Amino acid sequence: MTQQVNIGINGFGRIGRLVARAAFANPNTTVVAINDPFMSLDYMVYLFKYDSTHGRYPGTVVAENGNLVIDGHVVRIFTAKNPAEIGWGTVGADYVCESTGVFTSTEACLSHVQGGAKKVIISAPPKDNTPMYVVGVNHHKYDGSANVVSNASCTTNCLAPLAKVINDNIFDANASIALNDNFVKLVSWYDNEWGYSNRLVDLILHMASVDN
């Protein structure tokens, strides 16, 4: 992919901040806007810069003229409670990560589209029939028809790739169970925070390749 994908983030909590880190670490993505009505700009700088689990952010992050400036990139800050009032379109945020944990249905997330976003990715299991995609499992089924999708849960992102390997190569994991002397326990290592956030960015990149 030659054109950089612009991402907006709604909710600068744990997942929102790590998605931002993952996006800035990926040369094909950048964050152009963040919306959080409950966090001051100075607190955003502090929480993004210092992480007790993942360490200090290796780049630069400062507050400047009411916005965040990360690694020299200006990130527009919004403080709207209603997603429809966030100016995603004014800053070119085509793909929005919905990480508040509040808006977890297609109906609720379509408000982001009203604000100018092209597609919305929920960083949680949806409360309705919003399609869920897991990179490495079923991301190839995304056809661009849905404006709102879900990256499923962190647990699903951990277990589904392993289940797919078993299902595709050994036996039908949904309909079978094997209990014998050769029974093997399979362990999958997965980082529920950093791993999940990177897979969400990967999903956005795949969606952009299909949409374009």
Cβ pair 119, 147 in contact under 8 A: yes
Cα torsion at 10, 14, 17, 20 (round to 10°)? -80
Q: What is the DSSP letter of 139?
A: G
Question: Which tokens belong to 82?
Answer: 């209603």
Check if the beta carbon of residue 112 is closer than 8 Å to that of residue 120: yes
Sign of CA dihedral 190, 195, 199, 205: negative
Based on the residue annotation, tell me whether 158 is a catalytic residue of this protein: no
Q: Give the pairing of strands 61-64 and 67-70.
A: antiparallel
Distance in angstroms (rounded) separating the CA atoms of residues 19 and 23: 6
Q: Which of 97, 109, 154, 158 is an active site residue?
A: 154
- Give, in order, the Cα–Cα distances in Å from 34 to each of 69, 95, 98, 128, 135: 12, 12, 10, 25, 24
What crossing angle do the helices spanning 41-49 and 14-25 adopt, rounded to 10°?
60
Q: Enumerate the active-site residues.
A: 154
